[in-house]
Each structure stands twice: as structure tokens, then as C-alpha cells.
Homo-oligomer: A and B are copies of this chain.
């Protein structure tokens, strides 16, 4: 029997695989219709299935080919019908503007179990902002 923790891990790995493959239907199957999404870009929040779907399609469209997503420092907590996970992602790939970028982002993913399925009801993805110049901060040099 799978533990709840492994169900949550499997759930967020499905989400990451669907992002890599830019498979919008498989990706949206991870989300609740009541999803509230705080993304890297404006506005402050995307609310509901259609707004979030449209925003993922916009993101997919920025890449010429697959999206690279490497995960680090993932932690999950599960109890009853509520769970959350947080992790860092190295988001990489060739953009349609010709740039080949790798950017660290922070991701928090919140789940509820509804009709025996774990669905994401809230997600928050961001980059830090450099307070000196108010520009996006693209992570530590490696």
C-alpha cells in the first residue's frame, strides 16, 4: 500500500513530467477547478481552471522544444485530506527568442484530496527580486 507521502510525491512528479512534455491536458488533470495560482508574472493571481490553463499555454509557447525542470530540496507534509510541498526548480531550455536560459525558481504546491484524488488547489511560483535595482534575481552563480 502506498503511503500518503508517496501519493503526493507521485502527484507533483506527474505535474513536472507534464510540464516537461508541454502536455496541457495531462498537466491540467493535476489541478482543482478552484485553483488559485500565484505565478512568476503578473497579475497577482490567476483564479480558476481556464485562467491557469491559458497561462500554462503562454509559458509553453516561450520554449522552442521541451522545458527542462530539475528539482532540489523538496519537502512534503500530508495529513488526512490536506497536503503541501515546496521545492526549488532549475527551469531551463531554449526560448523562442533564441536565448538558452537556466533560472532557479521557488515552488510551493498545496493539495486537497477530493473524491479520493489529490488535486492542486493552490500553487505559488516565484523568483526573488534584487532590492538594489528591483530586477529579478536569477539565482546563485554555479
A residues adjacent to B (C-beta < 8 A): 36, 38-45, 73, 75, 77-84, 86, 88, 104, 106, 108, 110, 112, 121-122, 124, 126-131, 134-137, 139-140
Q: Smallest CB–CB gap between A54 and chain B, Å? A: 15
Residues of B within 8 A of A73 (CB): 36, 45
In the complex, residue of chain B having the shortest beta-carbon distance to the beta carbon of A125: B126
Q: Smallest CB–CB gap between A55 and chain B, Å? A: 11
User: With A38-B86, A42-B128 as given contacts, are A135 and B135 in contact (CB-CB < 8 Å)?
Assistant: yes
User: With A38-B86, A110-B110 as given contacts, are A44 and B80 in contact (CB-CB < 8 Å)?
Assistant: no
| Interchain CB contact under 8 A, A135 and B137 | no
